Chains A and B, each alone.
Chain A
Amino acid sequence: GEDVEQSLFLSVREGDSSVINCTYTDSSSTYLYWYKQEPGAGLQLLTYIFSNMDMKQDQRLTVLLNKKDKHLSLRIADTQTGDSAIYFCAESTTSGTYKYIFGTGTRLKVLA
């Protein structure tokens, strides 16, 4: 079945770049998403990429998509302590109901 996998933890130093990785299984996904969750809060959409794109850049965020390997990554440049959060990737299903399959989330810890 459909599955999305992420590593559970990532620790970086303030000012460094962070790279969060995700693999997915549904090769027919239309969109892939990155969400951020801060403690006690809901999920905030960070960015998303259409499946026919290889890369998308939005300020400090860069999304890379390797469709052949079903690999998605989120790079955060100049990581700040405010970036400490859980990051979820998600793929949309191809059905008309626009359901998402979420990864387990990667907890990013930024060290000052």
Chain B
Amino acid sequence: DAGITQSPRHKVTETGTPVTLRCHQTENHRYMYWYRQDPGHGLRLIHYSYGVKDTDKGEVSDGYSVSRSKTEDFLLTLESATSSQTSVYFCATGQGGEPQHFGDGTRLSIL
């Protein structure tokens, strides 16, 4: 949808390792978002970007960092993964007041 590709789609890793998830868009949308989805919580915003090199924290940003060096790419990094970060991660893009469009998600398991 809206030309959003998330990679990898699945990843299993160990506690304490760094992990980077990538979101790539082809729609030239200004805004990009990273969410995590957990049972009973819906989707919660981790970080978002409102332009190249412009990012800000969401409601569950602890333990995560992001970078956006190009319009089309938004990276989410877990510097030292913990089991509580096992989740499904979704990237979304938006253009001002237009609805957000979502990628297909990355299922991350941290053992």
A111 at the interface (CB under 8 A from B): no
Once the chains are docked, how many angstroms separate the CA of A63 from the CA of B111? 42
Q: Specify which chain B residues have a CB less than 8 angstroms from the CB of A24 in the assembled complex.
A: none
Q: A30-B97, A31-B97, A43-B102 are in contact. Are A99 and B42 (CB under 8 A)?
A: no
CB of B74 within 8 Å of the partner chain = no
A42 to B102, CA, bound (A): 6
Max chain B CB contacts within 10 Å: which of A4, A45, A88, A98? A98
Tell me if A48 and B99 are in contact (CB < 8 A).
Answer: yes
Report whether A42 and B41 are in contact in the complex, using a CB–CB cutoff of 8 Å.
Answer: no
Query: Which residue of chain A has its CB nearest to the CB of B43?
Result: A102
Please name all residues of chain B whose beta carbon is closer than 8 Å to the beta carbon of A92 when the two chains form the complex: 97
B1: which of A30, A31, A42, A90 is its contact (CB, 8 Å)?
Answer: A42
Q: Report the contact-size class of chain B (Cβ under 8 Å from the partner).
A: 20 to 34
Which of the four size classes fits the interface of chain A?
20 to 34
Q: Report the minimal beta-carbon distance from B32 to chain A, rounded to whole angstroms.
A: 11
Which residues of chain A from 30 to 72 have any CB-CB distance to chain B below 8 Å in the complex?
A: 30-31, 33, 35, 41-45, 48
Q: A97-B48, A102-B42 are contacts. A41–B101 as well, Cβ < 8 Å? A: no
B42, A100: Cβ atoms closer than 8 Å = no
23 A-B residue contacts at CB 8 Å?
A: A4-B42, A8-B40, A30-B97, A41-B105, A42-B1, A42-B103, A42-B104, A43-B102, A45-B99, A45-B101, A48-B99, A90-B43, A92-B97, A97-B31, A98-B31, A98-B94, A98-B97, A98-B100, A99-B33, A99-B48, A100-B45, A102-B42, A104-B42
Q: A99-B58, A102-B35 are in contact. List 10 more A-B contacts (CB 8 A).
A: A8-B40, A33-B99, A35-B102, A45-B101, A88-B43, A90-B43, A92-B97, A99-B33, A100-B33, A100-B100
B residues contacting A by CB (< 8 A) are: 1, 31, 33, 35, 40-45, 48, 50, 56, 58, 90, 92, 94, 96-97, 99-105
Could you list which residues of chain A lie within 8 angstroms of chain B, going by C-beta atoms?
4, 8, 30-31, 33, 35, 41-45, 48, 88, 90, 92, 96-100, 102-105
